[in-house]
Chain A
Amino acid sequence: MTFKKTLLAGMIGAVMTGTALLPAVANAENTLRMAYDADPVSLDIHEQLSGGILQLSHMTFDPLVRWTHDLDFEPRLATEWEQVDDTTMRMTLREGVKFHSGNDFTAEDVVWTVERLKRSPDFKAIFEPVASVTALDDYTVEFKTEKPYPLLLNLATYVFPMDSQYYSGTADDGDPKDEIVKNGNSFASSNLSGTGPFTVVEHQKGNRMEFQRFADYWDEESPGNVDNIVLTPISENATRVAALLSGDVDFIAPVPPNDLERVRESDDAELVTMSGTRIILLHMNQERVEAFQDERVRQAFAYAINQDAIAERLMKGFATPAAQFSPEGYAGHIESLERRHDLERAQELMEEAGYADGFQITMMAPNNRYVNDARIAQAVATMLARINVEVDLKTLPKAQYWGEYDDRAADVMMIGWHADTEDSANFHEYLTACPDPDTGAGQYNAGNYCNPELDRLVAEANLEVDLEKRAEMLQQVEQTLYDEAAFVPLHWQDLAWAAAPSVNIEPILNVMNFPYLGDLVIESE
């Protein structure tokens, strides 16, 4: 009897302590439920160069260096770097860093990773300037470039060392573990071992991704206190906002412009916006339309289009009106360049060029790629009507738009561009350089604008290690493009995130839009 009683009491006690302990454990664990508009296409961070992959890279890997808020470099896995001579940079690596697999991180992993990057279809163009990487000892690597190359640190932000031991050998299906396969299964596309703050626990593509804080994460100074992350892709804008406002998720990105006010006014959410670095612009095709070969006509277009009206009214202030490629903080940015909206001047220029009665053009824009893209195109068409230019506008879903874009299928086409290197020269190389199918220069130059002098200047700038001198050269390029109205810049698309009030997202966000979630702090209630 007594025995039975004790047993019973013991059991009750066990159950009670069990239940009493549970909430305490639950409190100690911080789970961040977040919703992005898409999930990363693969776990292989070299498979595709896209925002989603870079976001994943920053969660599960660590770069050698990373960008700070004001576009400076911050040491991560590289603690120090030194320019030995014009073509050599030596980097000291952090000691005592572990991969998720338990392997130690050494210089060999950096060498291995850069070599793999040079094999990746998406990344190899960026890493072309790097001639070789060698490990001098366990914690020193040396980068060599063919020619002097000023952007090596920019490149280092793309080097997320992978666990070379883990990714070597052959997988169960007999294929090498380090192969890079687009559209297909590879070991790296479904297995991951990095040095980053989070490990991947579960990956249901298109549906749900779960991360757990890596117990052996090297950065113990990071204030980050998130233990688990559940990422759900919610592509529908209204649903993503609703999920935040109803408390189903704690963090969403992006916040659609139409819902900015709603989120800002809500007590259940904090909104953070930032001027972005993606420029939206229009190309005027000189090969298709003779009039566009006349500088005055191109200038007239620039004068006729009111960037401020688009940014304020159409984008509801969710865009920074632009007069050039480079956003603030970029080397080529010229503070003094102003938007030139002046309808009278535009009409004058058209008259001078002999097109007072205007002409007809075709125009194409995507309708689901950039924020409000189709509506911006419509507004531009209306503005051009005032200088007697009749626009036949066609908007297409992005899946179809890019084919048309490659074919240069309309006289005026819209494109948005973000410089992968966070550098002004990149804009020129892809968007306004004389098109050359062999080198890939001007690959997206749908205006067929060509000024060999500028190409030369940019090439020189890319060999200039003196960054001040280099900035001057790039500014000269920017100024010429402006004067000749090589394209019509519209605005830099702003960025917006929102989170529950207890989730302190502001310090971890940046203009590149890869939140440093490892440093995220959730305040306990």
Chain B
Amino acid sequence: MIAFLVKRLFHALLVMFVISVIAFAIQESLGDPIQQMVGQSVPESEREELRERLGLNDPFLVQYLRFAVNAAQLDFGYSYIFNQPTTEVILRHLPATLELVAASTFLIIVLSVPIGVYSAIKPRAWLSRFFMGVSIVGISIPVFLTAIVLIQLFAIGMTWAPFPADTAWGNWLNDLITTEGGMPAYGRGNPVHVFGTWYTNFASLKGLTYLVLPAISLASIMLPLFIRLIRAEMLEVLQSEYVKFARAKGIRLRRIYFLHALKNTMLPVITVGGVQIGTLVAYTILTETVFQWPGMGLMFLNAINRSDIPLIITYLMIVGLIFVITNTLVDLIYGLVNPTVKLTGKPA
């Protein structure tokens, strides 16, 4: 176990090293940060001075070594936009993103497991067909569009009147398809302070309303995938010999479904899920931009727009770290669910 973790730690360091080299190599094409810092009429001589002061004129290797030496001491440089250490900036934006990811993950788990299991047990029921149909559509809609539609329907509101409004039934039908609006369209509101740089939206009902639309948008990417995955795995498990045997033995269906079958269904789901949580962090860039959610994704996009190279590099390294950590956790959980799985390094 310890050996496994140590090995993973080296993994993490390697990943971060590779990312930093790549990010450093492409910084030229990220644009000139000076352009973002000065007004349009500032003469070239002033720009040159600033460039010199930031060390942007040094050769690549010098710049990289300076960065690497500092990074080894956990100093990742100063953000050009925020005028603060990049790690501080990211730590301040991290809670918003983690909360958003947590809320979406919660939605995904709570919805995908029952729906997936149900449509596997009753594959021919109209409700199952409905879920499958919706999930096909869901997979093909980009998160951007989902978000904008959600804002239009639930933040701004939509009045539809295709039915005659002078009749009672028409009115009733119109009301049924008309949305009220009123949900917050952007930002986190005024989250409650927990400690340090962590402000939370989970502490108040008002805070939760700010989370709803962004969390649904973010979840919409993964939810159809997970429903289909759970359904497919469950269908396969239900065909297996031991389930048939259990049925023959007369064990109650409920017990077979939820204890024996579900447990084996979840193994591949957890593997995929772990990888997907990392992907979810990446997808927050789109969701956070649409909802102006003040997390790391929005921060990263701004950093790109303004060529804030130190912040971009630190963000990429931290996301790399998050991937390594989630993968490690997945492997550990996998071991817990299925003890026959051996973690590398563990004696046989």
Contacts and interface: CB of A to CB of B under 8 A. Distances in A.
Interface of A: 35, 41-42, 48-50, 121-122, 124-126, 181-185, 189, 205-208, 232-236, 238-240, 242-243, 245-246, 248, 368, 397-403, 417, 420, 426, 430, 437, 440, 443-444
Nearest to B292: A234
A402 B152 CA distance: 36
Contact of B39 (A42, A122, A398): A122
Interface of B: 29-32, 35-46, 49-50, 54, 78, 80-84, 148, 151-152, 155-157, 181-187, 289-292, 294, 299, 302, 304-307
A232 B294 CA distance: 10
Contacts of B39: 48-50, 122, 420
Nearest to B289: A236
Contacts of B156: 242, 245-246
Given A246-B184, A400-B30, A402-B31, 5 more contacts: A239-B290, A245-B156, A399-B304, A403-B35, A443-B44
A239 B157 contact: no
7 contacts: A122-B46, A182-B50, A208-B294, A232-B187, A234-B186, A242-B185, A243-B186
Q: Name which of A236, A398, A400 has the most chain B CB atoms within 10 A of its CB.
A: A236
Contact of A206 (B45, B148, B184, B302): B302
Nearest to A232: B187
A402 B155 CA distance: 38
Nearest to B54: A183
Contacts of B306: 399
B83 A184 contact: yes
A48 B81 contact: no
The 3 closest A-B pairs by CB, nearest first: A399-B31, A49-B39, A440-B43
B201 to A, nearest CB: 14
Contact of A242 (B35, B43, B50, B186): B186
Nearest to A399: B31
A399 B305 contact: yes
A49 B148 CA distance: 34
Contact of B29 (A121, A245, A400, A440): A400
A125 B42 contact: yes
A121 B46 contact: yes
A205 B307 CA distance: 17
A426 B39 CA distance: 14
Nearest to A402: B35
A250 to B, nearest CB: 13
Given A183-B54, A205-B82, A246-B182, A430 B292 contact: no
Contacts of A398: 31, 35, 305
Given A121-B38, A242-B152, A443-B43, A397 B186 contact: no
Contacts of A235: 289, 292, 302, 305
Contacts of B292: 232-236, 239, 243
Contact of A236 (B36, B42, B290): B290
B155 A182 contact: no
A122 B290 contact: no
Given A183-B37, A397-B31, A400-B29, A243 B185 contact: yes
B40 A417 contact: yes
Nearest to A430: B41
B48 to A, nearest CB: 11
Most buried by A among B29, B35, B182, B289: B35
A150 B46 CA distance: 26
A245 B152 CA distance: 9
A48 B83 contact: no
Contacts of B151: 238-239, 242, 246
A49 B41 contact: yes
A239 B41 contact: no
A368 B304 CA distance: 12
Contacts of B78: 183-184
Contacts of A181: 83
B90 to A, nearest CB: 12
A124 B306 CA distance: 24
A400 B306 CA distance: 10
Contacts of B84: 185
Interface centre among B41, B43, B54, B152 (most CB of A within 10 A): B41
Question: Which one of B42, B80, B181, B307 has the greatest number of beta carbons of chain A within 10 Å?
Answer: B42
A126 B44 CA distance: 15
Given A48-B37, A399-B305, A402-B31, A239 B291 contact: yes
Given A183-B54, A184-B83, A236-B292, A399 B307 contact: yes
Contact of A183 (B41, B80, B186): B80
A400 B155 CA distance: 36
A291 to B, nearest CB: 29
Contact of A122 (B38, B181, B186): B38
A242 B83 contact: no
A178 B39 CA distance: 20
Contacts of A208: 187, 294
Nearest to A184: B83
Most B Cβ at <10 Å: residue of A235, A399, A403: A399
A220 to B, nearest CB: 32
Given A400-B29, A402-B31, A420-B41, A189 B36 contact: no
Given A122-B39, A235-B292, A437 B186 contact: no
A170 to B, nearest CB: 19
A174 to B, nearest CB: 17
Contact of B44 (A238, A420, A437): A437
B36 A399 contact: yes
Contacts of A397: 31, 305
A401 B305 CA distance: 11
Contacts of B186: 35, 232, 234, 239-240, 242-243, 248
Contacts of A233: 292
Contacts of A238: 148, 151, 290
A246 B41 contact: no
A427 to B, nearest CB: 11
Contacts of B46: 121-122, 124
A189 B84 CA distance: 12
Q: Which residue among A208, A238, A417 has the maximum number of chain B CB atoms within 10 Å of its CB?
A: A238
Contacts of B290: 236, 238-239
Nearest to B46: A121
Contact of B31 (A189, A245, A403, A444): A403
A245 B184 CA distance: 11
Contacts of A430: 40-41
B185 A399 contact: no
A467 to B, nearest CB: 22
Contacts of B299: 206
A277 to B, nearest CB: 14
Contacts of A122: 38-39, 41-42, 46
B294 A399 contact: no
Nearest to B189: A248
B38 A48 contact: yes
B308 to A, nearest CB: 9
